A and B are shown apart, each in its own frame.
Chain A
Amino acid sequence: NAGVTQTPKFRVLKTGQSMTLLCAQDMNHEYMYWYRQDPGMGLRLIHYSVGEGTTAKGEVPDGYNVSRLKKQNFLLGLESAAPSQTSVYFCASSYIRPDTQYFGPGTRLTVL
């Protein structure tokens, strides 16, 4: 089992560019989450999904969109990147709620 994987690991964008972060899990988990981690702010939930075809807003959803077309994949999109979106993004999944969440290795995004 690969667990939770994230693609890419690093990315540099210019302001206004768009990109999609991919999260994949092979544990047949129902729940998937996207967080951002910033110094002094801890982990903040962006969006999450409670099952295939569903998404919900978290604490900081503005500027991001998500899709869960397949159970194993959860995509995070930035339509028009801003410097404030420079962060480390983590994806996580869990079988049920509440339950142990398994995290991916993170994507370090810099927006210039």
Chain B
Amino acid sequence: SQELEQSPQSLIVQEGKNLTINCTSSKTLYGLYWYKQKYGEGLIFLMMLQKGGEEKSHEKITAKLDEKKQQSSLHITASQPSHAGIYLCGADARGGNTPLVFGKGTRLSVIA
């Protein structure tokens, strides 16, 4: 079965700094989804990447998909307190009706 490993597990950054979160798959990635979860709340969809080399941006968050490396990265530029939360990646495990497989998440704290 497909497994997703996220790194780092947690991250503390100073406001205004840039940061990167990685999501590495044990198998070929056919689709990669990024979600954000604010503490105590549900998951909010951020972006979906489907093609190798694809890059998408939403406000100050950019995600890229490297199919060869079976990896996706999420980059936040000039972090703000509103970026704090848990970021989870989800992947299309492929085959039948199998739902998405999720990583364990990266907990981001942004300090002033």
Contact = CB atoms under 8 A, between A and B. Distances in A.
Nearest to A91: B42
B104 A50 contact: no
Given A42-B102, A43-B88, A97 B45 contact: no
A45 B1 CA distance: 13
B100 A98 contact: yes
A4 B42 CA distance: 10
A32 B4 CA distance: 22
Contacts of A56: 97
Contacts of A4: 42
Contacts of B42: 4, 90, 103-106
A103 B46 CA distance: 12
Nearest to B103: A42
B99 A45 contact: yes
B15 interface: no
A1 interface: no
Contacts of A45: 99
27 contacts: A4-B42, A31-B97, A42-B88, A42-B102, A43-B88, A43-B102, A43-B105, A48-B97, A50-B97, A56-B97, A97-B97, A97-B99, A98-B30, A98-B31, A98-B92, A98-B100, A100-B48, A101-B33, A101-B45, A101-B90, A103-B35, A103-B44, A104-B42, A105-B41, A105-B42, A106-B40, A106-B42
Interface of B: 30-31, 33, 35, 40-45, 48, 88, 90, 92, 97-100, 102-105
